[in-house]
Amino acid sequence: MVDMVVDYDTEAGATYVELPGYDEAGAHRVVEVIRGLLTVDVDDSGEPIGVELLRAPAEIDETTLRALAERFPSLDLAQLRAALAGRRLATPGDGLILARRSRPARPMSIPLM
């Protein structure tokens, strides 16, 4: 397993999950999965590198996670669920990071049509 970091911004009520391969400069496109609730940063190849949810980690339900899995089947939902719950899913020394940091909310990018 690889690194995953969960950030929760209490002021904005938003959760951001840095997925394996996260690089802020590498986010080339934002995909809206559920309008006003769930967006995904993807790299050049369309692979997810970050997930933003406008909810606290404890308020993210299975319906939301299923929508994410349908759109991005390569995501490890078991690891994501564990990270959101603040639990370790893997064994010590595997490099999985479950951390909560405070940072300003990232603005949602919604394409205008």
The tens place of each residue's pLDDT in the chain, 113 residues long, gives 457 888 988 888 899 999 887 877 777 899 999 999 999 999 888 899 999 999 988 889 999 999 999 999 999 888 888 888 875 444 444 444 444 444 444 444 444 44
Residue 53 confidence (pLDDT): 94
CA dihedral 52, 57, 59, 60 (to 10 degrees): 50
The CA–CA distances, whole Å, from 81 to 4, 62, 66, 108 equal: 11, 9, 11, 22
pTM: 0.72
Domains, the chain: 5-85 (3.30.390)
Contact between 41 and 52 under an 8 Å Cβ cutoff? The reply is: yes
Residue 5 confidence (pLDDT): 87
Quote the Cα angle for 19-21-26, to 5°: 105
* Maximal CA-CA distance, the chain: 47
